[in-house]
Amino acid sequence: MRNELHWNAPEYIHREKGTDWYIALWVIIVAGAIASLLTSNSVFAAFLVICGLTFTALANRQPAVVEHEITNHHIRHGGSKIPYSAISGFWMFEKRGILYIRLSFKRGSHIKTLIVNPEEVEPNDVYDALVDRIEEREIELPFIERIVDIAGL
């Protein structure tokens, strides 16, 4: 195993959203806005419309390609260096044919998910580098992130 591993991968997996996705979004937004207006809550109605416009504008944004690095001292994801001392555990798994690394942190409940590009780095080397430094354990996504994943955001 090498001391340092480098690879590039998208920061998230982009899912194409069809017309049905946009129709469902706006049905929910309009229904919520109408219900808000009927209950005299115009601020929340405006908030829902702004959220709908934001989701619509960002829905087809392509992910940036992020450089990843595993060294003896830290994991780098884009511009942020994560020291091993801040990480409480990792879980490496495959979902829909894509290899992921999920990191949990000692402080707070934040979870970071990285994508492994097997064309640039050997997945077994990544696993070996991590298991030597961090406890391996299954890490579940928080509820809100599972909802985001199901909604295809």
Domain ranges within the chain, ordered by starting residue: 5-12+65-151, 19-58
Range 48-75 average pLDDT:
90
Radius of gyration of the chain (CA): 19
Is the pLDDT confidence value at 2 over 70? no
Q: Is the pTM of this model over 0.75?
A: no
Question: Percent of the chain beyond pLDDT 90?
Answer: 30
- The whole-number pLDDT of residue 1 equals 45
- Percent over 70 (pLDDT), the chain: 96
Element holding 66 (H helix, E strand): strand 65-70
Specify the pairing of strand 5-10 against strand 98-105.
Answer: unpaired
Closest CA to 87 of 126, 51, 135: 135
What pLDDT is stored for residue 28 in this prediction?
Answer: 95
Query: At residue 106, does pLDDT exceed 70?
Result: yes
Which pLDDT value is given to residue 152? 67
CATH number of 5-12+65-151: 2.30.29.30
Lookup: tokens for 91: 């879980």
What pLDDT, on the 0 to 100 scale, is given for residue 144?
76
Query: Is residue 108 scored above 80 in pLDDT?
Result: no
Task: Tell which residue, 123, 115, 99, 103, has the closest CA to residue 9.
Answer: 115
- Asked if 90 and 138 count as a contact pair (C-beta separation under 8 A), the reply is no
pLDDT number for residue 30: 96
In this predicted model, what pLDDT tens digit does every residue of 89-98 receive, in sequence order?
A: 998 988 878 8
pLDDT band at 153 (very low <50, low <70, confident <90, very high): low
